[in-house]
Amino acid sequence: MYEACLCGAGISRQVDLFIRAQFKCGNLVQVLPDWSLSSLPIRTVVPDRKKVPAKVRVFITFLHTVIREANRHSV
């Protein structure tokens, strides 16, 4: 859907975080500015909080940082 929109093939609903750069440089335009979906919470689920692998903890921290930054710089 993303590629089709960039090629001018139609409209789609996209996550702001992924299209922000294309939106800012004018490759994509917002067509329904008064319409939006409610945001959904993102949750992490692990089998045992005490035994979360370090890689998973790092990923969760990274995801939290990306979402926080996206909210700070939303379109």
Average confidence (pLDDT) per 10 residues, the chain, 75 residues: 88 82 90 75 80 90 83 63
Smallest Cα–Cα separation from 70: which of 2, 32, 8, 14? Answer: 14
Largest separation between any pair of C-alpha atoms in the chain: 49
pTM over 0.85: no
Per-residue pLDDT, 27: 92
